[in-house]
Chains A and B, each alone.
Chain A
């Protein structure tokens, strides 16, 4: 065995703390080490070349790199040794930066000793390493996108334009998401519907996009490259092929219910289309409110009115099965329930509303035809108070984070309100104004400089009703004055939270979420659109609160990740997978029980006794090692992290040698255990 050890200075990051020269000298004496050296920056081109030259010159068969975290450059060095003719799994990284020099900056001597032990452990581990080959799995070059808001639409169009098939699934009857509800968008004030609807139509007409609206993802099985997905198409009771979207049905429908699209501020019929530009332009019967039930038909008004006979009361839910190779999550956000803010009378006073409701009141196609009218009595509010951070940045209410978009949309709301009601007054309570986007600060300055819009620095403590007014108790901390405002309407900038159902979806996909339920990215800076669950990509507010430009950028980024995945000839997975030793396996099934990915199945042997054994589906296995910890016979091991390797690592660090000692009989057990004994 011929191991080479390469120690990186990382400028002064490592060399400033660890005594590199002493380290090289000591490492040279280790068993199996035939060469040890140091380099200023190993990750640089000359650094990598040095490794390759030494491998050839000294006929190395294994390599240890002592440098930064393997998360940083593990792949870089593996590629380097592969180019020099070694199997890329015959390398071990000793992390002497993050786990040593950075955390022991004032303890040079101890840091040097620790660095030596880490290298010694890596040498011991790599000595037992085996060459591994990638696991090849099938790759279905189709993608599932869940959520048809602006992020889902953008990702769908980008991937479809790249030449691959897209299944776009949206749970409401139309695509468009929250963006379709908005009036004008900051900071340019262009009409949201005008810029979005062409994209919606484009997505629906695209030959590579299969659009499923009023549908939900029921089940997902499999892994990256080959997922089996079951989509449930809820019954519309209207045949989308026949419906022309004429609206004759809605005209005669006797049932009026609040329209979700208008945040309940306007009405719709039980047979409805959410808004005129909805895509697809197909009507839907909302059976919950329709006079008919699944079993009893008492009203046939719409059926009679429908010229093309598109209505079918007997329609049932339909399951559609598809196969895809990747999934983009774009399920967006909801607003936190206003009822949580009792001090502002949320849910109590009809004129205390949320930002999306205000959007609908501003919108010319909204329930009030673009005339701002307050919900309680339809009067035009002459004094409106906007409260930012109404629940956000508020750990006590469980939302410690900043919802990011409220500063901008509140500024926009105040401005649009002034455009709509020129003699009106707008007051904005803010703690900080966060306007860090292209032309955002300029926009906020314009709003603050507009006559009749007053920015007050402070948070409102209480809102209550006095006659037909809402009294707002706030403060302006800049002047040090507590203030009272008699307002006609109060608009709360509520926290952005993951949309309903995100949690269940994440659980189904085994994609991790943060403490607030937003989907976690694998790396917050360098890999912001990928879930740590390979094959799952994130777009838009499902990952964190985002405005339109950010959502669209992220959607395009997720699309490009999918496209680069699909550009592979075949899908090669890291071979860090569980492997069963059939001679040792007794078929107890513990490993299958603990596997979080359902990758292990118990099979029967073909011999006479038909004993059971464990079989690992390499595509599903994520190499987590739960099975390895559960197996009492050491029959299942994760390649690259086998028990002998891990033990060798530990012994090296402890300067110990393994000795078998009998552990005295304990209650109910008489097992051989390996103990670690320090040498004298």
Chain B
């Protein structure tokens, strides 16, 4: 399907407010995607998430698996030549979804039933629930 481009910066503004990051600083070198440890599990590469946000393709970004797979490991942030904090951007999208949809991405019931280190549980709850 052809994406009809039009002025569409609502999502971008909200994500900027949450994350404090300037998405247009990215010049699409792809270094984030080249080094992302979760890259193989993702449906969109990290640079594609930014690209889609840059061109205003909201729907693709809000429905992707990628933002939920980002574990905030900061590998991309540490190496980004333009100093874009991608980990913050991903969190921005996640928080936008959690806040607007008001429902958990994973509920506590969906988590594995085995003894886990408390930090694993708390971490998952923080990232996946409202």
Contacts and interface: CB of A to CB of B under 8 A. Distances in A.
- Whether chains A and B associate is yes
Interface of A: 343, 389, 393-397, 431, 457-462, 473-477, 480, 482-483
B34 A474 contact: yes
B19 interface: no
Contacts of A389: 29, 81
24 contacts: A343-B35, A389-B29, A395-B81, A395-B83, A396-B81, A396-B83, A431-B29, A458-B29, A459-B29, A459-B81, A461-B33, A461-B35, A462-B35, A475-B33, A475-B34, A475-B45, A476-B30, A477-B30, A477-B33, A477-B45, A477-B47, A477-B48, A482-B33, A483-B34
B31 interface: yes
Nearest to A391: B81
Contact of B34 (A393, A394, A397, A459): A459
Contacts of A393: 27, 29, 81
A345 to B, nearest CB: 13
Interface string B64-102: 000000000001100111110000000000000000000
A485 to B, nearest CB: 11
Nearest to B40: A482
A648 B17 CA distance: 50
Contacts of B30: 431, 457-459, 474-477
Contacts of A394: 81-82
Nearest to A481: B45
B34 A461 contact: yes
A463 to B, nearest CB: 10
A176 B47 CA distance: 44
Contact of B47 (A343, A473, A475): A475
Contacts of B81: 389, 393-397, 459
Given A477-B45, A480-B45, A459 B82 contact: no
Contacts of B32: 461
B29 A482 contact: no
A394 B79 CA distance: 10
A394 B32 CA distance: 14
B36 interface: yes
A331 to B, nearest CB: 28
A522 B47 CA distance: 40
Contacts of B80: 396
Nearest to B43: A480
B8 interface: no
A431 B27 contact: yes
Given A389-B29, A389-B81, 16 more contacts: A343-B79, A393-B81, A394-B82, A395-B83, A396-B82, A458-B31, A458-B34, A473-B35, A474-B30, A475-B33, A475-B34, A475-B47, A476-B30, A477-B30, A477-B48, A482-B39
A460 B83 CA distance: 16
A395 B45 CA distance: 23
B28 interface: yes
B85 to A, nearest CB: 11
A459 B46 CA distance: 13
Which 7 pairs show the lowest CB-CB distances between chains A and B? Answer: A461-B35, A458-B30, A461-B34, A394-B81, A475-B34, A459-B29, A459-B31
A473 B36 CA distance: 9
Interface of B: 27-36, 39-40, 44-45, 47-48, 75-76, 79-83
Nearest to B47: A477
B34 A462 contact: yes
A354 to B, nearest CB: 18
B47 to A, nearest CB: 6
Nearest to B78: A343
Given A475-B45, A475-B47, A482-B45, A461 B83 contact: no
Contacts of B27: 393, 431
Contacts of B48: 477, 480
B34 A460 contact: yes
Contacts of A397: 81
B65 to A, nearest CB: 14
A393 B80 CA distance: 11
A397 B80 CA distance: 10
- Residue in A343, A396, A482 whose Cβ sees the most chain B Cβ within 10 Å: A482
A162 to B, nearest CB: 45
Nearest to B36: A482
A462 B34 CA distance: 8
A460 B40 contact: no
A476 B45 CA distance: 11
Contacts of B39: 482
A394 B29 CA distance: 10
A460 B45 contact: no
Contacts of A457: 30
A460 B36 CA distance: 11
Contacts of A461: 31-36, 75-76, 79
Nearest to A430: B29
B89 to A, nearest CB: 16
Contacts of B29: 389, 393, 431, 458-459
B27 to A, nearest CB: 7
A474 B30 CA distance: 8
A477 B75 contact: no
Nearest to A461: B35
A582 B83 CA distance: 58
Contacts of A482: 33-34, 36, 39-40, 45
Nearest to B83: A396
Nearest to A457: B30
Contacts of A460: 31, 34
Nearest to B80: A396
- Residue in A393, A457, A480 whose Cβ sees the most chain B Cβ within 10 Å: A480
A477 B26 CA distance: 14
A71 to B, nearest CB: 33
- Residue in B27, B30, B35, B81 whose Cβ sees the most chain A Cβ within 10 Å: B30
B111 to A, nearest CB: 28
A389 B29 CA distance: 10
B28 A477 contact: yes
Contacts of B31: 458-461, 475
Contacts of B28: 431, 477
Contacts of B34: 458-462, 473-475, 482-483
B52 to A, nearest CB: 11
Nearest to A462: B35
A428 to B, nearest CB: 14
- Residue in B44, B47, B75 whose Cβ sees the most chain A Cβ within 10 Å: B47
Nearest to B31: A459
A54 to B, nearest CB: 53
Contacts of A458: 29-31, 33-34, 47
- Residue in A394, A461, A476, A480 whose Cβ sees the most chain B Cβ within 10 Å: A461
B64 to A, nearest CB: 12
Nearest to B48: A480
A482 B47 CA distance: 11
B102 to A, nearest CB: 32
A343 B35 CA distance: 10
